[in-house]
Amino acid sequence: MISLKQRFTINFSILLSVILAVVLTMIYSIFSQYRRTEFKLRLEEKAFSTAALLADLNVSKQDALEILDQNSVDKLYNNRILVLDNDLNLIYSSISGATQIPSAEDLQLLKTKGSFFFSDSKIGRYGMARKLPANKLLYVFVTAEDKSGERLLWFLGYLLLGAFIVGTGSVIILARSLSGRILLPLKQIQERITNISEKRLHIRLEEKRNNDEIDKLARAFNDMMDRIDSSYKQQKEFTDNASHELRTPVTRIIMQIQNLIALESHSDKTKQYLSSIMMDSNQIADTISSLLLLSRIDTGKISEFFPPCRLDEIIFDATQFITKAYPDVRILFNIENQSENDIDIEVKGDTNLLKIVFINLFKNAYLYSSDKLINVSLIQENDDLKVVITNNGEVISADDRENLFNAFARGKNSKNIQGTGLGLRITERILNHHHAHIMYEALNENSNCFTVLFKF
Amino acid sequence: MKILLLEDDFKLSSEIKVFLQEKHFVCDAVYDGNLFLRQFANAAYDLFILDINVPGVNGLEVCSLIRQSDKATPIIMLTAFGQIEDKVEAFNNGADDYLVKPFHFDELFIRINSLMRRNQNPQQSDEIITVEDLQINVSDLKVIRGGTEIYLTPKEYQLLLLLAKAKGKPVSKQSISDIVWDLNFETGTNTIEVYINFLRKKVDKNFDVKLIHTRPGFGYYLKSEE
């Protein structure tokens, strides 16, 4: 994936480089055009001056011409001059001995146009027909190499190439820093958004009030977050409010049934029904109180600043509750210090909430055990404090493990066991709130193990 | 035996009243905090039951107002479930016990009885066990050594009390496990050592004279010198 920054850098650099290349090429081609024109002018001048000299002298003064040619200030490299008269007789040739007869085409051009100029990359050829008195014509041909022009052109070429390389390099560096600067707010936005989580919906982006696109994006995002936050709160509050509203009637029902059961006039059948209704009502009450607790944690109504408390005492409190509720439970407790430090089993937490955690875990361990024995170990390691709770009983199936900590999830092994399906959910939420973790593993096919992990 | 009940839910209030009358208590019920305080000023009661969320003055405030003039009469708070903070607050305001709604009437009956009993024969206060410069005040659970208070957790306190009550005789690990922890609870031998260790750290560490000793094979004892 190419990032926006890279894409901007690449596009911007390519665009500017192309513009630079076009401009430099234009400069080069204009200059090369100029060189050609100038070279033609020089050849023309040479031809004119030669023709003028011959016309004025009206004689072939080979020597004089040669002197003139060789002393010319404006010296042309590899210069050859050929002068023919009306009847194509050689009047003058700058190279002694060698005669170069101009081609018929050249002559034809001279006759029709009066002059011509050809130039390839090296050699330029200029020809002209000069009218003399008495209807005579003088044909002058000048050829030369434009060494200095060529050198200038080369020099310019290298100069422009260098300029292009330096220019393109600077453009790339410029584009990189520019795109970095422009996209910096986007990067900051991305970093902030990454921090937003279920618990931290209050995070908003910084609005700079300079009305640019990124600022508008930030504002739109903040508006969206406000809406999400408020609807999330409403949803959470709903659970809270609904539970509160349900609580009173359920309490009334339970109280009334209790008094009803106490009356002596019931038949056995009625009593049976009443205690069954009582049990169901109690379960509804359990569910409602669990939901309330969950929503209180989720809506952040429970403080995040905890005093230190002794984990062992919390566990003892929880076991006391369990032994009261299930008198036939047996709990095996152990403390181990596997760290190199002195034993220190204090954690920062809310005693009441952590008590609920262990009550839930012990209750499960008891209800889902085959021998009513719970094994609890408090283990201090170098970096963490572990509470390992194991029991013997049917293990949780692989499918159920995925939903273990979800609300209203009840495993296949819970068929005849009463429960709300909220216990482990609450346990996990409370522990999350304490930055602690809970894990499950099956030690063998008949042994469950829950581990609660507090980091020091 | 007269009980004053503060509960704003009419149905609940009448159910509680029915139950209490069934158990031969005299029960007056009021529905808001102001009425309660008026009633409190006008008549004498043996126990108060307060709901927290009531109109007028709320239950917690009522509780602390009662405690300004009356330190003795037991108070039971009724809290709605899920409101954990309420419990802490209730105790800070001077309540003796709390029940989470919906509660079992039998549970209410047990709590009322135990509070009444406590109120009728208050514990012999000022019972202090002294070992050298260590003082254990049994009535208010305070432990002081060399003039400074030592803060113990409930289990540490029970362990220290057990050793102190043995008057220098060694107490075996098994007895410690059975007495300090309840019978459903089995501790590894290691655990008792850990707790003796905790206790040593708090009771002995900063003092020259060590009080907690080990007699291998027999157990632990509390004595000034060997």
For A312-336, what is the mean pLDDT? 88
Looking at A153, A177, A205, the residue that finishes a domain is: A153
Q: Which CATH number does the domain housing residue B192 bear?
A: 1.10.10.10
Residue-wise pLDDT for A214-254, tens only, equals 888 888 989 999 999 888 888 877 877 887 788 888 989 99
Q: Which CATH number does the domain housing residue A370 bear?
A: 3.30.565.10
Does A343 share its domain with A289?
no
Closest CA to A96 of A118, A77, A69: A69
Is the CB of residue A331 less than 8 Å from the CB of residue A320? no
Average pLDDT, chain A: 84
B82 contacts on A by Cβ (under 8 Å): 243, 247, 289, 292-293, 296
Model confidence, pTM? 0.60
How many angstroms separate the CA atoms of B216 and B226, rounded?
13
Looking at B120, B152, B180, the residue that finishes a domain is: B120
Contact B155 A244 (CB under 8 A): no
Does A30 share its domain with A143?
yes
Nearest-10 Cα torsion for A41, A42, A44, A46: 160
Does A324 share its domain with A284?
no
**Number of H-type helices and E-type strands within chain A:** 10, 12
Does A139 share its domain with A219?
no
Tell me what ipTM this predicted complex has.
Answer: 0.73
Give the total number of structural domains in chain B: 2
Contact B102 A350 (CB under 8 A): no
Looking at B120, B151, B178, the residue that finishes a domain is: B120
How many angstroms separate the CA atoms of A446 and A145, rounded?
103
**Which chain B residue has the Cα nearest residue A330?**
B184
B215 or A93, higher pLDDT: B215
Does A314 share its domain with A237?
no
**Measured CA angle at A123 (ends A118, A125), to 5 deg:** 40
Contact A330 B184 (CB under 8 A): yes
Does B58 share its domain with B106?
yes
For B204-214, what is the mean pLDDT? 86
Q: Is residue A350 part of a domain?
A: yes
Flag the least confident range among A4-8, A49-53, A116-120, A175-179.
A49-53
Does A80 share its domain with A133?
yes
Whether residue A98 has pLDDT greater than 70? no
Does B141 share its domain with B210?
yes
Does A444 share its domain with A313?
yes
List the single residue in A259, A316, A329 with the smallest CB-CB distance to B155. A316
Tokens of A225: 């977050």
Size of interface A-B (CB pairs under 8 A): 103
Looking at A153, A174, A203, the residue that finishes a domain is: A153
**Best of A335, A336, A387 to mutate (most B CBs within 10 Å, chain B):** A335
Whether residue A91 has pLDDT greater than 80? no
Does B169 share its domain with B88?
no
Q: In chain A, pLDDT over 70 holds for what percent of residues?
A: 92
Flag the least confident range among B92-96, B126-130, B215-219.
B126-130
pLDDT-derived band of residue A71, with 50, 70 and 90 as boundaries?
Answer: low
Does B139 share its domain with B106?
no
Contact B194 A337 (CB under 8 A): yes
The confidence score (pLDDT) of residue A361 equals: 93
Does A293 share its domain with A313?
no
Q: Is residue A425 part of a domain?
A: yes
Whether residue B174 has pLDDT greater than 90? no
Looking at B87, B120, B153, the residue that finishes a domain is: B120
Tokens of A296: 């209180």
Does B105 share its domain with B163?
no
Whether residue A329 has pLDDT greater than 60? yes
A255 contacts on B by Cβ (under 8 Å): 11-12, 15-16, 19, 102, 105
Does A88 share its domain with A68?
yes
3-state secondary structure (DSSP) of residue A385? strand
Residue for token pair 């439970």: A329
Does B12 share its domain with B97?
yes
Closest CA to B215 of B159, B180, B168: B168
Q: Which CATH number does the domain housing residue A294 bear?
A: 1.10.287.130
Domain that holds residue A434: 308-455
Chain B nearest-CA distance from A332, in A, is 5
Does B102 share its domain with B134?
no
Whether residue A346 has pLDDT greater than 70? yes
Q: Is residue A181 part of a domain?
A: no
Does B68 share its domain with B170?
no
Contact B185 A312 (CB under 8 A): no
pLDDT-derived band of residue A379, with 50, 70 and 90 as boundaries?
Answer: very high
pLDDT-derived band of residue B117, with 50, 70 and 90 as boundaries?
Answer: confident
Whether residue B17 has pLDDT greater than 90? yes
Q: Which CATH number does the domain housing residue A71 bear?
A: 3.30.450.20
Phi, psi of B62 (to 5 degrees): -55, -45
Domain that holds residue B54: 2-120
Does A14 share its domain with A145?
yes
Give the total number of structural domains in chain A: 3
Q: Is residue A353 part of a domain?
A: yes
The confidence score (pLDDT) of residue A405 equals: 83
Does B97 share its domain with B205?
no
For B17-23, what is the mean pLDDT? 91
Q: In chain B, pLDDT over 70 holds for what percent of residues?
A: 92
Q: Does B182 touch chain A (CB under 8 A)?
A: yes
Tokens of A316: 């003892």
Does B25 share its domain with B114?
yes
Does A331 share its domain with A288?
no
Flag the least confident range among B9-13, B21-25, B205-209.
B205-209
Tokens of B64: 């602390």
